[in-house]
Structure 1
Amino acid sequence: MRIHASTAGDTVLRTEIAFVRLSQIAPAEIAEHMSDPRVGEHMPLLTSGWDAAMATKFVAMKEACWARDGLGHWAFLANGRYVGWGGFQKEGPEWDFGLVLRPDAFGLGRRILKRAIDYAIADTRIPFVTFLLPPSRKNLGALKKLGAREIGQIEYDGATFSA
């Protein structure tokens, strides 16, 4: 899916949401998050066996995006507690947005997405944002309310996604 940055609407935040660098989160906490089978249901490319070493490698890869592109993935905190990660990653000429929340924080997705889209609107490098959505993602109402439109299906690394 693609959303044009200028179409995002307003949302009232009831929870204090903070975006911090992934490197500020303990690798064991990220590994625990990524090992939850409920997270894996929505991530067709997720591999098993996440441990602190794998999380450390993952964070290093995401930090490399910051070094290369000046933008990347954050850890999301709700009232100071780690609730997931996501952000923008340059895929060719496009900026893709990903969001991976802990199952107990799935309800915060719209608020986090809204804040990230506000960030994209303010960044002149980002004319639009793309989303690769897994087949398990059926309810697209929140994205459509932000102006997203489906542009088709693509295969990425052996898995099919809606784009």
Structure 2
Amino acid sequence: MRHNIAFARLPDIEPAEIESHMSDPRVAEHMPLLTFEWDAAAVANFVTQKEKCWERDGLGHWAILSDGRYVGWGGFQKEGDEWDFGLVLRPDAFGLGTSISKKALEFAKADERIPFVTFLLPPSRKNLGALKRIGAHCIGEIEYDGAKFLKFRLETDQ
């Protein structure tokens, strides 16, 4: 089944949708930085912080819609001189990751500000074949906010 994937802004999503999504323990399984309870205040802070990235960098994380329904958030966030791609889906949308990532990476390849994209994945993620298939390569292990991650890089200007 083909899904109509669209990107919107996080303030366009009902806060309760984001709270429910981020409170699901299946989402937290591979998010070592998720060490707090999500409530209305956490959602408001999250959306505010993500909107500040848009104001500062002209790009940031989107709300992701499939057939008009919120299925998660993700996109590009500037970390130093690098654009990091992140994707956090609702468990009922885990199967959409490839098509969402493809659409987002097409955006990155068309944007001259983004010569490459990085991905940070926790070592608990064992299925990394999709990254290799798109041409990303592991550049090592890093520590970010006290947690270890595997860092991958994908050239977008090729």
Match of 1:64 among 52, 77, 91: 52
Residue in structure 2 matched with residue 134 of structure 1 by the alignment: 122
Give the residue type in structure 2 aligned to 1:75: A
Work out whether 1:92 is the aligned partner of 2:84. Answer: no
Secondary structure of the equivalent of 1:71?
A: coil
Structure 1 vs Structure 2 CA RMSD: 1.0
The superposition leaves residues 44-102 of structure 1 with CA deviations (integer Å, 9 ceiling, x where unpaired) of 00023101221011001000000000000001011111100011000000000000000
Task: Report which structure shows greater RCO (CA 8 Å, sep ≥6).
Answer: 1
Deviations 1:101-134 (A, max 9, x none): 0011000001000000000000000000000001
Are the aligned partners of 1:27 and 1:53 in contact in 2 as well (CA < 8 Å)?
A: no
Q: Which residue of 2 aligns with 1:41?
A: 29
Match of 1:125 among 104, 107, 113: 113
Q: Identity percentage over the alignment?
A: 73
In the alignment, the residues of structure 2 paired with residue 35 and residue 48 of structure 1 have an alpha-carbon distance, to the nearest angstrom, of 9
- Which secondary structure state, in structure 2, belongs to the residue aligned with residue 96 of structure 1? strand
**Deviation >2 Å, runs of 4+:** none
Q: Distance in 2 between matches of 1:133 and 1:49?
A: 21
Match of 1:107 in 2: 95
Letter in 2 for 1:67: E
Counterpart Cα distance in 2 of 1:106 and 1:136: 16
Distance 1:159 1:116 in 2: 26
More strand by share: 2
Q: SS where residue 132 of structure 1 aligns?
A: strand
Deviations 1:6-64 (A, max 9, x none): xxxxxxx8100010001100111101111100000010000231012210110010000
Q: TM-score if structure 1 supplies the norm length?
A: 0.90
Length, aligned pairs only = 151
Alignment gaps of 5+ in structure 2: 152-158
C-alpha distance in 1 between matches for 2:117 and 2:58: 16
The 2-side partners of 1:27 and 1:42 are apart by 22
1:152 corresponds to:
140
TM-score using structure 2 length: 0.93
Distance 2:12 2:119 in 1: 25
Give the residue type in structure 2 aligned to 1:160. K
